Chains A and B, each alone.
Chain A
Amino acid sequence: MSSFQPDKANFIVSKEDWSLHRKGYQDQQRHQEKVREVIKQNLPDLVTEENIIMSDGKQIIKVPLRNLEEYRFIHNFQKQKHVGQGDGDSEVGDVLAQDSPKDAGKGGKAGDQPGADVVEAEISLEDLEDLIFDELELPYIEDKNKEELESVSFRFNDIRKKGLMSNIDKKRTILENLRRNAISGVRGIHGISPDDLRFKTWEDVRLPKSNAVIIAMMDTSGSMGAFEKYCARSFFFWMTRFLRRQYEKVEIVFLAHHTEAKEVSEQDFFTRGESGGTICSSVYQKALDIIDGRYPPSSYNIYPFHFSDGDNLTSDNDRCIRLIGELLERSNMFGYGEVNQYNRGSTLMSAYRNLKQDRFMYYVIKEKGEVYRALKHFFHKREKEARS
Chain B
Amino acid sequence: MTNELAQLEYAIAEIMEIADGFGLDYYPMRYEICPADIIYTFGAYGMPTRFSHWSFGKMFNKMKMQYDFGLSKIYELVINSNPCYAFLLEGNSLIQNKLIIAHVLAHCDFFKNNLRFGNTNRDMVESMSATAERIGRYELLYGAETVESFIDAVLGIQEHVDPQLIKPLRYDKRRQTEEKLRRMKEAQSKPPRGGAYDDLWELDGLGTGGSSGTGAGAGAGSGAGSRAGSAAKPEAPLPFPPEPEKDVVWFIQEYSESLEDWQRDIMSMLREEMLYFWPQMETKIMNEGWASYWHQRILREMDLTSEETIEFAKLNASVVQPSRQSLNPYYLGLKIFEDIERRWDHPTEEEVRRYGREPGKGREKMFEVRELDSDLSFIRSYLTKDLVRDLDLYIFEKQGPEWKITDKTWEHIRDQLVASRVNGGAPYIVVQDGDYLRSGELLLKHQYEGIELDLKYLERTLPYVYRLWGRPVHLQTVVEEKPAMFSYDGEKHFRKML
Contact = CB atoms under 8 A, between A and B. Distances in A.
A15 B33 contact: yes
Interface in B373-411: 391-398, 401-408
A71 B14 contact: no
A148 interface: no
A243 to B, nearest CB: 34
B57 A27 contact: yes
Given A24-B44, A83-B394, A85-B324, A73 B32 contact: no
Interface in B127-174: 152, 155-160
Interface stretch (A4-12, A182-190, A220-228, A322-330): A4-12
Contacts of B90: 15
Interface string B306-345: 0000000000000000111111100000000000000000
Contacts of A5: 13
Nearest to A18: B38
A24 B454 contact: no
A42 interface: no
Interface stretch (B287-295, B458-466, B490-498): B458-466
Interface string B404-438: 11111000010011001000011101000000000
B464 A71 contact: yes
A97 B326 contact: no
B56 A27 contact: yes
B322 A85 contact: yes
A interface, size bucket: 35 or more
A29 B56 CA distance: 11
Given A70-B156, A73-B426, A85-B322, A21 B402 contact: no
A4 B392 contact: no
A115 B395 CA distance: 18
A21 B401 CA distance: 46
Contact of B17 (A4, A21, A98): A4
B483 interface: no
Contacts of B34: 16, 18
A27 B325 contact: no
A21 B41 contact: yes
Interface stretch (A51-59, A88-96, A200-208, A247-255): A88-96
Given A4-B14, A74-B453, A91 B8 contact: no
Given A80-B397, A96-B405, A4 B33 contact: no
B29 interface: yes
Contact of A79 (B394, B427, B452, B460): B452
A82 B412 CA distance: 11
B383 to A, nearest CB: 10
B76 to A, nearest CB: 13
Interface string B202-244: 0000000000000000000000000000000000000000000
Interface string A49-78: 000000000000000000011111111111
Given A9-B28, A81-B397, A99-B401, A75 B453 contact: yes
B12 A79 contact: no
Given A83-B393, A113-B326, A15 B5 contact: yes
A104 B446 CA distance: 27
Contacts of A26: 52, 57
A72 B156 contact: yes
A16 B464 CA distance: 40
A74 B420 CA distance: 12
A83 B413 contact: yes
Residue among B14, B16, B398, B475 with most chain A CB within 10 A: B398
B405 A92 contact: yes
A191 interface: no
B16 A10 contact: yes
Contacts of A74: 426-427, 453-454, 457
A86 B427 contact: no
A95 to B, nearest CB: 5
Contacts of A194: none
A78 B398 contact: yes
Contacts of B420: 82-83
A94 B460 CA distance: 35
A6 B9 contact: yes
Contact of B52 (A23, A81, A87): A23
A241 interface: no
B32 to A, nearest CB: 5
Contacts of A7: 13, 16
Interface of A: 3-7, 9-16, 18, 21, 23-32, 34, 68-99, 101, 104, 107-113, 115
Given A73-B426, A73-B461, 5 more contacts: A7-B16, A15-B90, A73-B453, A81-B406, A84-B394
